[in-house]
Chains A and B, each alone.
Chain A
């Protein structure tokens, strides 16, 4: 590897890879922050370990 700068292919792979995962993360958080679900937050947990079994246990 004789180059001292970033090669075109390396730049493309790096740029596309980093841009892809960054865009996915930003999109996910945008969706979460822009679509609050009133009344369905995790703090309202009903059954389950957060609120006890729905039916039956291990029997």
Chain B
């Protein structure tokens, strides 16, 4: 790696670091996925497995990822291939290749997630311009969204529109990332996160003071929080809670490590890591749990909200909310304004996650190939544009669903399992515990030691076993795909991920050979 490339990269302030990490974690999942998961999995009782998952999955993995990241940074590594290599004392040649998952997963997610985030920018613009006002039925609003997503359907939008907002978002991201850790990412967090919380609080107050339409706001809260005690015995509810924990804390992808690598070797990770997790939970449980579903119940009643929630997060976050804003008193002004606040809130939440997702690949190119940050940032945006075009063109045949499942769901659990085994059983729990407490502001309770060593890995292996027993074969063979004509496209989508993984393995091989050539004694 080039010392020159990295030596000025650092977080300027601790609060900036925490907000950047929280911005990484707070994303669309907090505001759209969490309330749907809660409502579909037992309401208030969902919070019991949710908090258990927070304690035995979320917090331990968060501390471990921060520790691995800071540890790798000590040796000049900002991405997982180098970190895993260092974690195994450079005695296990395979470790760096396993670390390719820490490049592949965040890059794959970055590409399709950025495309989705660009929709939010588009709908912010459509809201303030009042473009969809007048489409007051769910079916009309759904057609408005589908026409935007499907470039071959010009009924509501030009086919080029989604691409334009995608390019604008990529250019903005490239600009932020090129400015570096403190000059770009940290400044974005220092501006974006307070703005996000302010927008969310304004929207929460507006939703809770809505006049009764089909139902009252209290019924909306009942819908999310009313307990169903029988759900506690259902394994699916526990798995849903565990899955939500991965999504919401951005675990198992490699970008928490990348951010933590820019810490000093004696800088605290225990209190800072816990702070980012707590900030994310506040955004999810207090703000995310109050806005979208509650508004949907108020306007469409419980039955209507159930149907919307079953349609997925975009039906809730875009279609239903689009109709809600049109039904607000004084919609011509306030509806457009609140619509803008909502979609721009989601845009900010998404964009602060996007910059984190791109960071491991940028760090890898800097450390292994001596690329400048600017070159790496714009290079990644170029790759994202080319590969992202597949999602722009083939969205309606399920191209994105494959990436979301294999990288954004399955891949997270795979990488988390690998990293915790490496940390607790290869690097060793004694050394790991000591490393975690280097410069710590709070001592991690001793109970977390056996949790990290045994309980969390066991929990993850149970997740795998359950998946293997119930879902592996049907999912792999795409038995639930309703339209057989889409299957070849979905295989192509999977093939592209495999190809990206192979390129990643090749780059690690070349990068390591290059390092060995440059410093044969290294």
Contacts and interface: CB of A to CB of B under 8 A. Distances in A.
Interface of A: 1, 3-7, 9-14, 17-18, 20-22, 24-25, 27-29, 31-32, 35, 37, 40-59
Contacts of B212: 4
Given A29-B275, A43-B13, A58 B82 contact: yes
B413 interface: no
14 contacts: A5-B218, A6-B218, A14-B44, A18-B289, A25-B275, A28-B275, A46-B264, A48-B262, A49-B73, A49-B261, A50-B6, A50-B10, A52-B7, A56-B75
Interface stretch (B237-245, B374-382, B514-522): B514-522
B82 A48 contact: no
Contact of B216 (A4, A14, A43): A4
Contact of A58 (B216, B263, B522): B522
The 7 A-B residue pairs whose C-beta atoms are closest, nearest first, are A59-B522, A13-B44, A53-B76, A48-B73, A52-B3, A50-B10, A28-B275
Given A3-B218, A58-B516, 10 more contacts: A4-B215, A21-B278, A32-B271, A41-B13, A52-B3, A54-B74, A55-B75, A57-B75, A58-B96, A58-B367
A46 B302 CA distance: 56
Contacts of A5: 216, 218
B391 interface: no
Contacts of A47: 73-74, 76, 264-265
Nearest to A36: B14
B281 A24 contact: yes
B193 to A, nearest CB: 13
Contacts of A55: 75
B519 A32 contact: no
Nearest to B276: A28
B275 A1 contact: no
A42 B10 contact: yes
B363 interface: yes
Contacts of B96: 58
A11 B520 CA distance: 65
A53 B286 contact: no
B78 A49 contact: yes
Nearest to A11: B225
* Interface size range on B against A: 35 or more
B10 A43 contact: yes
A40 B439 contact: yes
B222 interface: yes
A7 B82 CA distance: 53
A7 B271 CA distance: 36
B18 A51 contact: no
- Most-contacted residue by chain B among A11, A17, A20, A54 (CB, 10 A): A17
B285 A42 contact: no
Interface string B105-132: 0000000000000000000000000000
A6 B222 contact: yes
A52 B44 contact: no
B67 to A, nearest CB: 13
Interface string B293-329: 0000000001000000000000000000000000000
Interface in B265-292: 265-268, 271-272, 274-275, 278-279, 281-282, 284-286, 289
A45 B47 CA distance: 39
B44 A22 contact: no
Given A24-B278, A35-B441, A58-B85, A52 B6 contact: yes
B150 interface: no
A18 B1 CA distance: 45
A58 B271 contact: no
Nearest to A28: B275
Contact of A42 (B13, B45, B85, B275): B13
A46 B222 contact: no
B6 A31 contact: no
A31 B10 contact: no
Contacts of B75: 48, 53-57
B522 A50 contact: no
A27 B303 CA distance: 39
Contacts of A40: 264, 266-267, 439
B281 A31 contact: no
A13 to B, nearest CB: 3
Contacts of A21: 278, 281-282, 284-286
B265 A46 contact: yes
Contacts of B267: 40-42, 45
Contact of A28 (B1, B224, B278): B278
Contacts of A32: 14-15, 18, 271-272, 275, 441
B522 A7 contact: no
B226 interface: yes
B219 A1 contact: yes
B257 to A, nearest CB: 11
Contacts of B275: 25, 28-29, 32
A52 B18 CA distance: 22
Given A42-B13, A45-B264, A58 B1 contact: yes
